[in-house]
A and B are shown apart, each in its own frame.
Chain A
């Protein structure tokens, strides 16, 4: 990182922010469109800023549609999935990183191979499985499905992270009389916290944005997540309710951006330390 004077800093910020603005332009478009009244939508030539600013679409969405319910469902789904992935993946990663048993190396590689299966083929057998387990059409079945999608990546991430935690720490705890599991909770987990945060953010985004499986695996309107709820409600082959859709999209995206802005320090740490070995 080179040191620059204040002018260099300002110029660089300008340059960098123009790139950011370019990438984030669609977000700007979404926000601006959601604030326009319906009769301004399809002006020719198109306008960027609204002539009249109106919040009617947001109000309608929150008060007159099941949008808040869908929002609640997505929150439960995303948090539940993240939690499940963290539990299973930390235990599994710990096992892969710090224990020795036959087939361990093979398992670590096999994990990535599971991503080869195309989603469309997976759907119906997955649904039948859920029916067999008795949890078809529930949020829980989606959590299970998403956990399995996030697991390979989470395992890889956490395993490489845990492998970089020095053995001495764990040894010290064992010498003090702790069992392996106690050492795990007291020593390993806190050290792995940045990796855990990265994993949960990645899983959260996956669970928040997924569409196809939510469409097929869950059909109870009361438990539908945002993706399918909003799309089914506002779009059909014949007609798209653009204003409401843009308002909904903004409300779906902004929380993630806000959360990330606060957590990004931890997130990047998670990746950084994990990938050190080489």
Chain B
């Protein structure tokens, strides 16, 4: 084919061009101050918001150039390992989970964030918004760029009405009951994951807390052999038949789609449900609502899983000044609101002042689902995750390894799929996690 023949001739030229550009890039970087911004969230809608923030920043800071580069959500550990090992680090990184930040900080790879917090204005944050990044003695490893209430229960009011369920479930028994009633005719009760992946581990941690337990004690000893964990395992296993057959391989995307498309009667997710339902299943949109996820009994308080998508600055980056300035810039109202509107209800503001501002609230989805968004904002601001399971817990810097080892997911699979004994399996998991905490 002629195209191939033609390009063989231009190959040499292109190669020379490519090599030349590669060679001159470092030279260019030294003339202006270049700041690379890495984030795994680079969907087109968000890119537009980032572009605005970059342009407005560059206008006020001539001499600093910001370049956004999307990283892989799943593959970021490899990318960062290479970046840190070689010293070729970006200036600022956003949207990584909070336990990645604490883990890297623990290895001395990040700069403390206290300066940036001051630049933004400490009082503007929700109280406790950054406690998961508190590394002790008031040093912050990073901050959240948003909050996410990841374990809201999503309900279909029409399906509930059809099944004669008057009240939204508050306890696990009520949930199981309601799911059972609504299951049928091709619709399943819930889209819980039973896969060997991080979602299963993270979701199951919510259920452990829903039973009144925790993965670690406040001084970070594993507490998986508690009754609460056994109860959680048994409940989770009992829900298996109310979830689709493919739940054994579900990740966030499949679980989200299951609810949005109407295949399950309940969902477990963040506010992204709103935007996706409007786009992919508009007929269901008027009927969806969310509540805090049920716990084992009315005595056990709600526990919201906040993913805390983060902001962090690598220590090896030469131009710390520019990085900090830009980090603070990301939270200025005009740009921040644009970012939040790219995924309305999904990423919620960490700044109280933004939540209350008129420009933030001026969004169709947020307007249509006021009650739900407010609930999520409040819940996530008071939320926790494996990095910090309660106000009394020390910051856990080994969260990444615990999740990455898939021990909790395997535990769920053993009990729910292989029908192994919950107590012995929990003891097995306890040993594995103790080993991990010792190793790293």
Contacts and interface: CB of A to CB of B under 8 A. Distances in A.
A185 interface: no
Interface stretch (A8-16, A175-183, A211-219): A211-219
B18 A139 contact: yes
Contact of A259 (B4, B72, B82, B198): B4
B358 interface: no
Contact of B85 (A127, A232, A234): A127
B350 to A, nearest CB: 18
A39 B11 contact: no
B190 interface: no
Nearest to A75: B7
B244 to A, nearest CB: 11
B70 interface: yes
Q: Which among B36, B67, B79, B262 has the highest number of chain A CB atoms within 10 Å? A: B79
Contacts of A79: 7-8, 11, 14
A249 interface: no
A255 to B, nearest CB: 9
A80 B21 CA distance: 15
Contact of A140 (B18, B67, B74): B18
Interface string A200-241: 000000000000100111011101000010011111111111
B411 to A, nearest CB: 21
Interface stretch (B38-46, B229-237, B383-391): B38-46
Contacts of B25: 137-138, 220
Nearest to A213: B78
A47 B70 CA distance: 33
Interface stretch (A25-33, A98-106, A128-136): A128-136
A19 B116 CA distance: 62
Nearest to B42: A233
Given A212-B75, A241-B43, A76 B14 contact: yes
B263 interface: yes
B43 A233 contact: yes
B170 interface: no
A42 interface: yes
A268 interface: no
Contacts of A168: none
Interface string A77-94: 001100100000000000
A230 B252 CA distance: 20
B35 interface: no
A65 B44 contact: yes
Nearest to A43: B261
19 contacts: A38-B279, A39-B279, A42-B263, A80-B15, A83-B12, A131-B87, A137-B88, A138-B19, A140-B19, A140-B22, A141-B22, A215-B72, A216-B75, A216-B78, A233-B43, A236-B40, A237-B198, A239-B256, A263-B1
Given A38-B279, A232-B72, A263-B1, 12 more contacts: A38-B280, A39-B279, A42-B263, A44-B186, A124-B82, A131-B86, A131-B88, A140-B22, A233-B70, A236-B41, A237-B40, A239-B276
A-B residue pairs, 7 tightest by C-beta: A138-B22, A42-B261, A236-B73, A232-B70, A127-B82, A131-B86, A262-B1
